[in-house]
A and B are shown apart, each in its own frame.
Chain A
Amino acid sequence: MLTMTEAELQANIRKRKIVDMAYAIGGFALITLSLAVLVALIYTLFRDGATRLGWDFLSSFPSRRPENAGIKSAFVGTILVMFVTAFTAIPLGAMAGIYLEEYGKKNWLTTIIEINIANLAGVPSIIWGLMALGLFIYKFEDWFGNPNDLTPGLGRSVLTAGLTLGLLVLPIVIVATREAIRAIPQGIREASYACGATRLQTVQSHILPYSLSGMLTGAIIALSRAIGETAPLITIGALTFIAFLPPAPFASKPYLNSTAMTVGISEDKRDMPLSELYGASVTDGTIRFHIKPGSEDDTKEVPHHETVTVAATDSITQVEEKIEAIEGLTADFYGDLLNIQADFGVVFIIEEDTTGLIAASGISPGGGRFGPMEWIQSGFTVMPIQMFNWVSKPNPEFHANAAAAGIVLLIMTLSMNGTAIVLRSRLRKRIQW
């Protein structure tokens, strides 16, 4: 049997080559098929949505009229939420991975942690949403909310959304980090320790820089997953219709917008003069508002200024009445803090305050009570939610909007990944084992 004639050998080789070829053809057919589906998907997206794309689409808030509607708030919301997600998941995941690989001793505790990380990666995203709703929104309010706080807990904010998605993708980052660290030859570690390095010096000088490209791969996968998530954000109460942007970081003026609040007025302070409540920090003067109506029906008046004159002897009830005289604004003293709210969709800026009341009631002049980070407390929507909202409307013109938003989301994801891939290949060029 082992001794074959030339002809037998050739027949044998031919037979094996046919199998080889069949495998290659089959594989090619399958990959073509799956790519064709993808191409068809992208083609439909462009066919339906391309006409809606344009600067107006990007720079308009959503509207009742499909031809006026845009993705401004969703686009900015997605970028902000991704920002928080990246800043939560990447450092936390990298540090956890480094700890588990370089510091953690092998014992039952680390084994449990490892098993849990693997399992967490498989938890459905809606569960994360429920966790965030229960913990970040309800429990944090119970634990940390105080009656003087205008926004107890984390609220339904960019911060909550970013943290939720950050936790959702954390296992991906941890696993990728650990894989990257394991790829570093043990000889490198030994060389570092043999030079007299401590663990931290070894991590800083070697482990971290050499595993950075692998961590970036993890970050790409993690953020690509997060950018398309809808379920957990709907659970935590992302808004589907927003006609304002979160306050810009480092805005020069205090900037507030409508936030849903349950207001309890402390009755004993109702008729107290401001001078008694705040002392000399509040004087006679004026507060000037810049009102930007951003209502859904697009019929309200253009942005305008409103001025309120306040005297130090006014009671808080009087101040409330003066502010509420402005259309679209309501004011409440909450404890001894002044909480000014706008009707839904209305945005206002406090341009000037000569009374000292705004500062005295806890609003810092740097840009709201959270300074440059005010945006983190803002309500938000994101691209997938905006798309979902439009797709569920009966008017087919909204469906074109959804397709156009899909194209933008696709471009956002690709450019995010592209940046990471360029960074990664640069890092890889320097390091090859």
Chain B
Amino acid sequence: MDGYGDRTEGRRPTVLDQEPAGAGAAGVGAKRTGRESGLEVTMSTTNTATPDPARAGTAKTAAHAQHDAKAKLKADVKGLNFHYGTFHAIKNVSIPIYENRITALIGPSGCGKSTFLRCFNRMHDLYPNSKYQGEITIHPDDVNLIGPEVDPILVRMRISMVFQKPNPFPKSIFENVAFGLRLRGVTNRKVVAEEVERALRGAAIWEETKDRLHESAYKLSGGQQQRLCIARSLASHPEIILFDEPTSALDPGATLRIEELMRELRGNVTIIIVTHNMQQAARISDYTAFMYLGELVEFGPTAGVFQTPKKKLTEEYIQGHFG
């Protein structure tokens, strides 16, 4: 364990994420329905509140229904266990992560999906008393990301992250994106400018910001800030990008743009996304993992998980019976 100094209370995202599952389920459910009905206004053609097995035949979901034979393995999670102090947060989870595909992690609050995601870039190392067991092997070089011999900084330079709340630095738009390059000691102005432009274009925010690159990032709207954060994570040419509920703090329009962006990124970069929003998972992901109380309940191609769930628990969650 490589702790980055102790933080006092209120700085333990893992703990915040782990309120007892099922407690206050009705309240959470009610909130979520509200958010989704808001989404429906802009996405009227896409979905209804609960996925209907009868819609299995639509073209979009059919493409996702089977495992994509062309997909290569990017990473392998094998027997992952994670302890926060005495709390066993992740229990023996194994899933494959496919290259240039979107893998969604769903499950009720406190099921450990954010904790699971944060294992990929060793974010838990920032806090004391965290313990990893098992393997997250990244291909093609077969490095075990959570191996004690692997430097978390190296892991974070290969795998970038977009957070739940847009968290741009209080610097200029340009400097936000350039931060990753500056860390690597890139000083050539031309190279930095080119990379910043590439990342901003990649995050579909170049047109909006190209004339105001040196203004504060805080002048952007929430959705723009989140796309800036995506640009920041793209700037370092990551192999995997982790999205931790990237749209939960955004309005429906901004959510839609982020989802479009993720679909554009698919094919070029491997994405793992944690989401509370089942429709979002259904819309954008290729694979879905359903987690409950720290355990993996079901993993498979998204359409399969949503339309023909193998486990009763998955079916109940998807139909909105709990969580």
Contact = CB atoms under 8 A, between A and B. Distances in A.
A188 B123 CA distance: 13
A425 interface: no
B167 A185 contact: yes
A194 B128 contact: no
Given A104-B5, A105-B128, A106-B128, A195 B123 contact: no
Contact of A194 (B5, B161, B170): B161
Given A188-B169, A194-B160, A430-B216, 9 more contacts: A106-B6, A186-B10, A187-B165, A189-B126, A190-B13, A191-B232, A195-B156, A195-B160, A431-B170
A196 B6 contact: no
Interface in B155-195: 156-157, 160-161, 163, 165, 167-170, 179-180, 182-184
A313 B219 CA distance: 80
A196 B167 contact: no
A193 B179 contact: no
Nearest to B126: A193
B229 interface: yes
Contacts of A188: 167, 169-170
Contacts of A193: 4, 123, 126, 156
The interface size bin for chain A is 20 to 34
Nearest to B216: A430
A197 interface: yes
Contact of A199 (B4, B183, B218): B4
A196 B183 contact: yes
A16 B183 CA distance: 59
A206 interface: yes
A192 B179 contact: yes
Residue in A102, A186, A194, A431 whose Cβ sees the most chain B Cβ within 10 Å: A194
A113 B179 CA distance: 34
A191 B180 contact: no
A187 B167 CA distance: 6
B5 A105 contact: yes
A87 interface: no
Contacts of B121: 194
Contacts of A105: 3, 5-6, 128
A206 B184 CA distance: 16
A193 B156 CA distance: 8
A432 interface: yes
Nearest to B158: A196
Nearest to A202: B4
A210 interface: yes
Interface string A170-191: 0000000000001001111111
A433 interface: yes
B62 interface: no
Contacts of A12: none
A196 B236 contact: yes
A190 B12 CA distance: 11
- Between A106, A182, A193, A198, the greatest number of chain B beta carbons within 10 A of the residue's beta carbon is seen for A193
28 contacts: A102-B5, A104-B6, A105-B5, A182-B8, A185-B167, A186-B10, A186-B11, A186-B13, A187-B163, A187-B165, A188-B167, A188-B169, A188-B170, A190-B13, A190-B126, A190-B161, A192-B169, A193-B126, A194-B121, A194-B233, A195-B183, A195-B233, A196-B156, A196-B157, A197-B183, A198-B153, A205-B169, A431-B170
A195 B5 contact: no
Contact of A191 (B11, B128, B218, B229): B229
Contacts of B123: 190, 193-194
Contacts of A182: 8
Contacts of A195: 156, 160, 179-180, 183, 232-233, 236
Interface string A197-217: 111010001100010000000
A199 B5 CA distance: 10
A177 B31 CA distance: 39
A388 interface: no
A194 B179 CA distance: 11
